[in-house]
Structures are given as C-alpha cells and as structure tokens.
Amino acid sequence: MTNVAVIGAGMAGLVCAQQLTQAGYSVRVIDKSRGVGGRVATRRLFETKADHGACYLKPKGEVLQGLVNLLIEKGELEVWTNTVHEIEANSSSIIPHIPSSLPYIATSGMNAIAKFFTQGLEIIHNQRINSITLNSQNQWFLTSETNEEFTASSVVIAIPAPQAVMLLETLAELLNNSFFDELFSVEFYPAITVMAGYSNSLQQPEWKAITFKDNSILGWIGLDSSKRKNPTQPHFVIHSSADFAQHYFESEELQQVGQQILENAASTLNLQWLKNPQWMQVHRWRYAFPKTPIKQSYLAAETPSPLVCCGDWCGGNLMESAMLSGIAAAEYINSQLEQRELPGIDFIDAL
C-alpha cells in the first residue's frame, strides 16, 4: 500500500511529493489533467508557447530565493526583466518600476518548472478523485470519476480550497467544524486570459509587462514572446480583472469576450493593432487567485489517519506560497508517520 496519496500535481502537490519521496516514503500523485503544473500552465500555440497561467516567479522570502538560486544553477530559471510597468486607473501613462524582487521565468515556458519537479515521482494522470473514505483499518480509500481505486495510509489534498470542499463533503462526519469552517472561508477570484499573436512587421513595445491598477477590465499584459529564446512572432498574454471575469465567466461567446479584452488593451495602451491579432485563444480560470487565503501554511484534519490540505491558498496567493505550503504539508505528514529527515529546499539537488 502507498504511504501517501497526493491529490493534485500543481506546485504544492509536486513539491510535497518530492519531499516525501526523497525521504523514502512511497508516494503516488494523482491529477485530473493529462499534464502537470495546474495553474503553472504553458500552451503550445502555432510555432510558439504561451504562459497562460503563472507569468513569472517572484521570490519574496529567503527560502524561495534559495530555491530560485538552485533552479538558476540547474538552468531552469532566469531573470525576465529588471523593469516592470504600471498604469493607474483612468490614465494612459505607463510608469516604469524597478521591482523589489525580480521576476524569474523559464524560457521554454513556466510549465517546465513543474515538469522538472516530476523527476522520480509516480504520477497518475487523467484521474479526477471524487470521493475519499476511511475503511475499517483506517486506510484512506480514494475513488476516481472513472472508478479507479487507490489506497493510502495518508492523504495530501493539494487543490484549490473550493474544490477540496466538494471532495471532502462525503467525509463530513469525520471532519470537525473548525476544519470545514477554515476550508469554506477560502474564496477565489476568477480570471479570463487572452493569448494573441501578431505579425513580425509591427513595431513592438519597449515594455515587457504592465500591471493595470484598479482597471475594471484589464489586470495584466505581458509580451510573452520576449520570454522565448527564438521567438517566431510577437505574442501577448493578457489577464482580465477579477470583476470582468466574474461578469463574463459563463459567457458562451468566449472569443467575443477575448476580443473585448483586446480592444480595451488596444485603446488603454494606444496600440490600435493590438485588436487585430493573427490568432487568439481565450482561457477561463475559475479558481485563479485566492481572495481570502488562510493564515497557516497547511490545514490538517484531526482524523484517525493523516489528512492535510495545502496549496497557494494556505498562507498566500502565488506560486511561492504553493511551494512553501507543499513543504509544510510534507513536514506535517512526516511528523504523523516515521519522522524521517526531509530534504527541504535541497530537494532540487537530487533532480
């Protein structure tokens, strides 16, 4: 039987699984998608790739800076730009800023970081877990949508809190109220993301990324092609504001919604050609960013066998908190199992 089943192969689940696997536990990671990385997502488009989820990694704390340094040594990350830009509400002035922490990217797409973290892991794809029960021997019994079954002595749930609520409803009798209250308290902002490619003949802007402050439609725009080593054509990624995404999330005319985002970006930035791309794709994120994260770095249940939730919504709202939460969840599981030595951020050395 597997020691630990990790549900979710996003950054939190992968980092957690690395900690426990490298400490010698038998770990199985299960994800509903065919790839890994969750919201650290890169789409192959025509002859290029676009990061339509996480745009860059900006380490704020020492632990993550240490982890980033190790990833740079391994050739997985590099600095994207020394200058980011902002536009205030109702303004068209693009203000440059030197960021307090630098944005790091993977030139082959952000998803490469997640793939790098899969080395040595057992990962089962295309299996959405939709029920968890505890059997009479206190073993966790996981069932997927296609009726695949998995047994494990402990479980890590590394998915957005609202999805964890749905998954854990059948276990309500075993879980105490404070656990559910915490889980229910976490809300997420949605986002709608546009990827658009343009002709090489256009005059490209000098900026690489702009954050739109308090804009009712736009959240962020990045010249995504500037992350690639040999870009074939300029392409942009634009994230909508949360309010806009909320309003249009269920729209059946997603291309029109994307066009509306492009037109707004074109007029705000005074780049009229932005509204006439050669190609455009639109993606919806129902759970993009935690709006009300919990304070702790993991959420453990008081169950007869260990069960812990982790993810970016535990202690923050970005990749950094997802990874730190994955490490913290692994420490919790280890404390409940055999108290082995865990690698911490040095897990990168073994990859």
> Would you give the binding string for ligand FAD spanning residues 114-143, x where CB under 6 A is met?
--------------xx--------------
Q: Which stretch binds ligand FAD (CB under 6 A): 115-123, 196-204, 291-299, 311-319?
A: 311-319
342 touches ligand FAD (CB under 6 A): no
Contacts of ligand FAD in 214-273 (CB under 6 A): 239
> Binding residue for ligand FAD (CB under 6 A) from 4, 5, 6, 11?
11
Cβ proximity to ligand FAD, 133 vs 232, nearer residue:
133
Residues 220, 193: Cα–Cα separation, whole Å: 9
What tokens were used for 331? 């420490």
What tokens were used for 16? 């957690």
Cβ proximity to ligand FAD, 29 vs 342, nearer residue:
29
Task: Name the DSSP letter for residue 225.
Answer: G
How many CA within 13 A on the CB side of residue 315? 20
Cβ proximity to ligand FAD, 53 vs 306, nearer residue:
53
Bridge partners (DSSP) listed for residue 5:
28, 155
> Binding residue for ligand FAD (CB under 6 A) from 285, 298, 332, 347?
285
> Would you give the binding string for ligand FAD spanning residues 169-188, x where CB under 6 A is met?
--------------------
Q: How far is CA 212 from the centre of its chain?
A: 21
Residue 263: other Cβ atoms inside 10 A: 15
Bridge partners (DSSP) listed for residue 284:
192
Token pair 């047994």 is at which residue? 151
Q: Which stretch binds ligand FAD (CB under 6 A): 26-34, 74-82, 198-206, 261-269?
A: 26-34
From the number of C-beta atoms within 10 Å of its C-beta (0-12, 13-18, 19+), residue 107 rates as middle
